[in-house]
Structure 1
Amino acid sequence: MFTDPSVLGFFFVGGLVLLERDQSIFSTLYVTPLKIHEYLISKVMSLTLLAAVTSIVLFIVIHQSSFHVVPFLLAVILCSMFFTLLGINLAVRVKSVNAFLYTSPLIVIVFYLPLVDYIGIFDTPIFFILPTQAILLLMESAFRGAPIGIYLYSVAVLAVWIGLVYLWTYQSFQQFLKDKCFT
């Protein structure tokens, strides 16, 4: 369930942005009242909604009512937001879908490292600074429950990472538009 919202957000938005680039959609952003923030938020929210709906349907079908919905939805929503922003950031930096697909493992692998601990291969406290660890803790607490500190830690770490990647993506997208439209 971790990979569904992350892969959906990251790879799907990468394809969308690259398709929009090929169709010269971005040139129109300068003549419409649509702001970069609004564009980014619309992409993040639409893919996050899609990830949340599909994940909750899958979870209900598989686990019926034997899980806590709030930590699960928090994990899915925050995971999707983070990886969607990361996907946009990479998509504006590459020239083609192939370049996106070849480059994406270099970025995603860093954030997937806590999965190594989750499956019991390697454990280090450094993983706790990565957003993936927070996502995994929230997903795990959907089944076992968790102390309030786990929820606070997870939401705080994810909020910081989402904020940082949003600022980075905003700047990257702004530079991309300047390069694309004025060169």
Structure 2
Amino acid sequence: MIGELVKLDLKVGTRGYVYPIYLLVALAYGLMVMAFPEGYRSVVVPIFLLLEPGLVGFMFVGTSIFAEKKDGTIGALAVTPLDWRAYILAKTLLMALVSLLAGALIFVLGTRSLDGLPYVLAGTVLVSAVYTLLGIAISAKYRDLDDYFVPLLGVMVLSLLPFAHYHGYLTGEIWKVLYAVPSYPSIYFFSAPFESVSTGVLLRSALGLVIWGILAYYFAKVRFYRYAVEGLR
């Protein structure tokens, strides 16, 4: 079931230019990273890696859902035995696979190196799954990108704040609350190719993203059924 849905989603997303554009954005990010002096890449690369599988993925999955609402793909979930939970998992799996290509493209093209690529790929899969599920959950209520823009902007700003804290720009005790933002643990994976990050920190970061993924899946399951499936009946 999930395999068939992945194929269908890939076909629809390719026909609508969602996934090709996604990879073109990754190519553009990789070229932009190349333009920075080598000394800045330890800061720039993690930001672009989060932007692509995380925030750009969050936007694109919403765009994909809007398109599928309009062409009737999601409407079929309300009138056929098709398992809508499998639909959510299939979209998450496909976005993770596409994000792997995008993350590898940004890192390898931008740094011209394979050193540390496994850390990048691990972080990419985890953060992509979290933000895809959050994107499904939040976009399920809306009909187009105009309505989705405000929550998209809010998620983008909140997700970039941990970089300011990580690099010492937000130093007050109150800013420790940013550890709870899912983008924070991804920073350790994306920074590992450039600086020493302990195995313990990476394991805790992975656990944090897995917990976020479970919560985001539950959130997506409830809201997608309420607004995208049941709402179309």
TM-score, normalisation: structure 1: 0.90
Tell me, yes or no, if structure 1 residue 156 matches structure 2 residue 207.
Answer: yes
Q: How does 1:92-103 map to 2 (within 5 A)?
A: 92-103=140-151
Q: 1:64 maps to what in 2?
A: 112
What is the letter of the counterpart of residue 231 of structure 2?
D
User: Is the counterpart of residue 126 in structure 1 residue 174 in structure 2?
Assistant: no
Q: Which amino acid aligns with 1:10?
A: F
Which of 164, 169, 176 aligns to 2:220? It is: 169
Provide closer, same or farther for how the CA distance between residues 45 and 74 of structure 1 changes in structure 2, counting only shifts above 3 A: same
Q: Contact between 2:103 and 2:120, CA under 8 Å: does it hold in 1?
A: no
Identity within the alignment, %: 22
> Given that residues 5 and 80 in structure 1 are in contact (C-alpha distance below 8 angstroms), is that contact kept between their aligned partners in structure 2?
yes
**In the alignment, is residue 28 of structure 1 matched against residue 80 of structure 2?**
no
Which amino acid in 1 is paired with 2:197?
Answer: A
Matched, 1:39 2:87: yes
Residue 82, structure 1, aligned to residue 130, structure 2: yes
Please name the residue that 1:141 is paired with. Answer: 192
Q: What is residue 158 of structure 2 aligned with on the other side?
A: 110
Give the gaps of 5 or more residues in structure 2: 1-48
Distance, in Å, in 2 between the alignment partners of 1:81 and 1:152 is 17
Residue 59 of structure 1 deviates from its aligned partner by: 1.3
Corresponding position of 2:21: none
Q: TM-score scaled by structure 2?
A: 0.72
Distance in 2 between the 1:49 and 1:43 partners? 10
Structure 1 letter corresponding to 2:219: W
Shift of 1:11: 0.6
The answer (yes or no) to whether the contact 2:78–2:230 under 8 Å persists in 1 is: no
| Counterpart check, 1:180 vs 2:228 | no
2:5 aligned with 1:5: no
Which structure's relative contact order is higher, taking Cα pairs within 8 Å and 6+ residues apart? 1
Whether the 8 Å CA contact 2:58–2:131 is kept in 1: the answer is: yes
Q: CA RMSD of the aligned region, Å?
A: 1.7
Task: Quote the offset at 1:134 in angstroms.
Answer: 0.2
Letter matched to residue 177 of structure 2: I
Shift of 1:42: 1.2
Deviation of residue 170 (structure 1)?
Answer: 0.4
Query: Is the CA contact 1:66–1:143 (under 8 Å) kept in the aligned structure 2?
Result: no
What CA distance in whole angstroms lies between the structure 2 residues aligned with 1:30 and 1:92? 14
C-alpha deviation, 1:66, in angstroms? 5.5
Contact 1:48–1:77 (CA<8 Å) still a contact in 2? yes
* 1:66 to 1:56, Cα distance in 2 relative to 1, 3 A: closer
| CA offsets 1:21-60 (integer angstroms, 9 cap, x no match) | 1222222114444312210111111111111112102211
Structure 1 counterpart of 2:3 = none
Letter in 2 for 1:75: G
Quote the Cα distance in structure 2 between the aligned partners of 1:42 and 1:136.
26
Q: Which moved more, 1:117-126 or 1:68-77?
A: 117-126
* In structure 2, C-alpha distance between the alignment counterparts of 1:170 and 1:129, rounded to whole Å: 21
Q: Shift in Å at residue 119 of structure 1?
A: 4.3
CA contact (8 A) 1:36 1:174 kept: yes
Moved more, 28-37 or 134-143: 28-37
